[in-house]
């Protein structure tokens, strides 16, 4: 790709593209693209994007071309990569959106992030954004449709673009639900993205020969950072399915209908539960097929990971029985990226998340108002255990809140200084995850025990605010009070249970799960819809009048 003059000022991985120009970077459902082709198409699109932003600036002097936010609503295919690269080429901050989100939520993201344009990849995306904008008088922004067929892969040299200033400049705003209030936008700088990528390459041994099967949503850090940006930085190939399909995934994993050998696969516990179910239905009865699957997965696929939610040990064991492979479990959050991981080589203990990732320093701590940081440190560790300090010298496990210091940390919650300040220790050096972590000195590993707050539910890899669901339910005419809790579930990790106190016993027929889900779907994404409804005659509260969710869970389990 020597003909491409890639400026050193372009962020993240554009200089790396020059080394892999003729190598296939992406295969989607319609075509395959080399790194050179993706770069050239994105380059063309960036000129169009730059021109539109400049036109907007000419009519709105308030636009700061040094701080531009652009939304992206594209399917899992090349259009997303083109939109992302083109946006970064003009120095814009990208807000990935999802087709799973209802218009009300997309409207909130676009407004909150102060987006100056939104890029769509197909007619369905266009219609969703058009409907969103038409029903909202507060924002008027251009909708820019990517038509890959109209964009040539011929290399162009017109470089009249906005000049990106990288390093600490904002690269992404990823929205994540908080324990209260509306979703918050996690601002991630280019430096933090690079730190994410470098850490994962080192920890998990990524190489240019890797081929990952990508089945995850792209507005989530797991699918975006782990599944797309890291392999593309190192020059690997990404085979991208439009959505998770258990049957198609098995075809790729066992190489039954595709010539390309998959070497890396990552998913959430729900994905593996559904793959196991598909295996039992389709493959388990044939001994020859069972042997082929076990051989392919244990000898040809070098890395299979699971994260975004706790992996039940039964799924871990069953997956090993089927494939001969012990899944690599790890822990991460949007705010900090991947923070702990089981080893690439060596023993993996189910139910644990190993030790800190490269460049990550963690503490297990408990609140202490007398400490300068507001916490008393019980355990401190880095990735190589060159710094391992344990306050308790006994062999008993130690538990406390997990605190993280890392170059992968998010910069701030978008335009929420109070919330940003509150989620860091008093000295500002450590991010407070809100998760309880346990250190086992005998096994020398860490495990995540759950949230400090009962108001965060981890369902199918998503972190969901119970309070957001409760606010929607309370708009229902037949609901007097409600509370939403997460109940452990083998397939989903946790299932969402809506506990409802009706206004009148005669209205119970309007509060079935079949009635509640469509009602909630008007304002919530599909993955946040309740899985079941429980009708009760009172909601227990503590002495302060607050709902006792632990007692609620005991009532319905």
Distance CA 110, CA 97 (A): 9
523-526 LR contacts (CB < 8 Å, sep 24+) = 523/102, 523/104, 523/105, 523/472, 524/102, 524/105, 524/468, 524/469, 524/472, 525/98, 525/100, 525/101, 525/102, 525/105, 526/100
Q: How many helices, marked H, and strands, marked E, lie in the chain?
A: 16, 27
Strand partners, 175: 185
Give the long-range contacts of residues 340-349, CB within 8 A, separation 24 or more: 340/446, 341/203, 341/204, 342/445, 344/203, 344/204, 344/205, 344/303, 349/443, 349/445
Supply the pLDDT for residue 557.
Answer: 73
Encoding tokens for residue 335? 């705010």
Render pLDDT for 56-101 as a digit per residue (tens, 0 to 9): 776 666 566 567 999 999 999 999 999 999 999 998 999 999 988 8
Model confidence pLDDT, tens digit, residues 103-151: 888 999 999 999 999 999 888 888 889 888 887 657 789 999 997 666 5
Backbone angles phi, psi at 466, to 5 degrees: -65, -30
- The strand ranges marked E within 223-297 are 237-240, 264-267
Maximum C-alpha span of the chain: 74
* Residue 87 host element (H or E): helix 78-89
d(CA 373, CA 370): 9
Cβ neighbourhood burial of 363 (10 Å; 0-12, 13-18, 19+): buried
The answer to whether 132 and 109 have CB atoms below 8 angstroms apart is no
Other Cβ atoms less than 10 A from the Cβ of 193: the count is: 24
Distance separating alpha carbons of residues 496 and 482, to the nearest angstrom = 13
Please, which residues bridge with residue 547 across strands?
541
Instruction: Name the one residue in this structure whose structure tokens are 């919650």.
Output: 413
The C-alpha atoms of residue 392 and residue 376 are separated, in whole angstroms, by 12
List the structure tokens of 193: 């993205």
Tell which residue, 77, 7, 96, has the closest CA to residue 43.
Answer: 7
Angle at 76 between CA 336 and CA 315, to 5 degrees: 60
180 token code pair = 């209260």
| Spatial CA neighbour of 464 closest among 391, 531, 372, 389 | 531
Structure tokens at 267: 């998913």
Task: Say how many C-beta atoms besides its own lie within 10 A of residue 45's C-beta.
Answer: 24
Q: What angle do CA 264, 266, 270 make, to 5 degrees?
A: 145
CB atoms within 10 A of CB 535: 14
Domains, the chain, with CATH or none: 14-165 (3.40.50.980), 456-556 (3.30.300.30)
Tokens 């792209």 correspond to what residue? Answer: 218
Q: Is 297 helix (H, G, I), strand (E, B) or coil?
A: helix
CA angle 482, 485, 487 (to 5 degrees): 140
Q: What Rg value do the Cα atoms of the chain yield, rounded?
A: 24
CA distance 464 to 268: 15
Q: What are the mean pLDDT values of the chain's consecutive 10-residue runs (557 residues total)? A: 37 68 93 92 91 78 73 95 93 93 90 95 88 78 82 50 55 76 88 94 96 95 96 95 95 79 94 94 94 94 92 91 97 96 95 95 91 88 79 80 97 96 94 92 88 82 86 89 91 94 88 96 94 91 64 81
- Helix or strand holding residue 184 (H, E): strand 184-189
Q: Strands 143-145 and 532-535: what pairing?
A: unpaired
235 by Cβ neighbours in 10 Å (0-12 / 13-18 / 19+) ranks as: buried
Handedness of CA 394, 399, 405, 406 (dihedral sign): positive
Neighbours of 58 (CB within 10 A): 9
Whole-number Å distance between alpha carbons of 257 and 243: 18
DSSP secondary structure letters along 303-353: EEEE-SSPPPHHHHHHHHHHHS---EEEEEETTTEEEEE--SSS---TT--
Q: Cα 313 from chain centroid?
A: 22
């Amino acid at each position: 790709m020597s003909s491409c003059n890639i400026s050193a000022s372009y962020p993240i991985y554009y200089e790396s593209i020059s080394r892999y120009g003729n190598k296939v970077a992406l295969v989607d459902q319609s075509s395959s693209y080399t790194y050179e082709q993706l770069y050239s198409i994105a380059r063309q699109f960036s000129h169009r994007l730059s021109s539109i932003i400049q036109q907007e600036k000419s009519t709105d002097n308030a636009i700061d071309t040094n701080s531009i936010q652009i939304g992206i609503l594209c399917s899992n295919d090349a259009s997303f990569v083109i939109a992302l690269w083109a946006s970064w080429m003009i120095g814009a901050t990208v807000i990935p959106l999802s087709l799973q989100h209802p218009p009300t939520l997309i409207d909130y993201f676009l407004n909150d992030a102060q987006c100056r344009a939104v890029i769509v990849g197909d007619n369905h995306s266009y219609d969703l954004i058009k409907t969103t904008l038409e029903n909202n008088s507060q924002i008027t922004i251009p909708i820019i449709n990517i038509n890959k067929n109209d964009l040539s892969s011929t290399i162009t040299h017109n470089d009249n673009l906005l000049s990106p200033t990288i390093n600490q400049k904002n690269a992404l705003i990823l929205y994540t639900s908080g324990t209260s209030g509306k979703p918050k936008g996690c601002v991630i700088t280019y430096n933090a993205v690079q730190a994410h990528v470098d850490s994962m390459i080192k920890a998990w041994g990524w190489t240019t020969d890797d081929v990952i099967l990508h089945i995850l949503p792209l507005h989530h850090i797991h699918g975006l950072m782990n599944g797309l940006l890291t392999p593309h930085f190192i020059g690997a190939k990404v085979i991208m399915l439009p959505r998770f399909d258990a049957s198609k995934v098995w075809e790729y994993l066992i190489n039954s209908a595709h010539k390309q050998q998959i070497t890396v696969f990552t998913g959430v516990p729900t994905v593996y539960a559904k793959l196991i179910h598909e295996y039992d239905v389709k493959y388990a009865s044939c001994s020859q097929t069972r042997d082929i699957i076990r051989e392919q997965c244990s000898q040809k696929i070098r890395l299979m990971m699971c994260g975004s939610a706790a992996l039940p040990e039964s799924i871990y064991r069953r997956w090993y029985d089927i494939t001969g492979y012990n899944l690599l479990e790890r822990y991460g959050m949007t705010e900090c990226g991947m923070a702990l991981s089981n080893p690439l080589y060596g023993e993996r203990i189910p139910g644990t998340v190993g030790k800190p990732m490269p460049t990550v320093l963690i503490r297990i701590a408990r609140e202490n108002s007398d400490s300068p940081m507001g916490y008393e440190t019980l355990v401190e560790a880095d990735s190589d255990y060159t710094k391992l300090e344990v306050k308790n010298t006994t062999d008993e496990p130690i538990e406390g809140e997990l605190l993280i210091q890392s170059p992968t940390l998010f910069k701030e919650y978008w335009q929420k200084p109070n919330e940003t300040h509150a989620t860091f220790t008093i000295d500002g050096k450590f991010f407070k995850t809100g998760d309880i972590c346990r250190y086992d000195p005998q096994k020398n590993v860490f495990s995540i025990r759950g949230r400090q707050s009962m108001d965060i539910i981890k369902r199918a890899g998503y972190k969901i605010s119970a309070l957001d669901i409760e606010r929607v339910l309370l708009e229902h005419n037949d609901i007097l009070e409600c509370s939403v809790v997460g109940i452990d579930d083998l397939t989903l990790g946790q299932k969402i249970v809506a506990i409802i106190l009706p206004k009148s016993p005669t209205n119970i027929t309007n509060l079935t799960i079949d009635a509640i889900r469509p009602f909630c779907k008007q304002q919530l994404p599909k993955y946040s819809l309740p899985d079941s409804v429980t009708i009760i005659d009172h909601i227990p509260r503590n002495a302060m009048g607050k709902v006792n969710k632990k007692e609620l869970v005991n009532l319905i389990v």
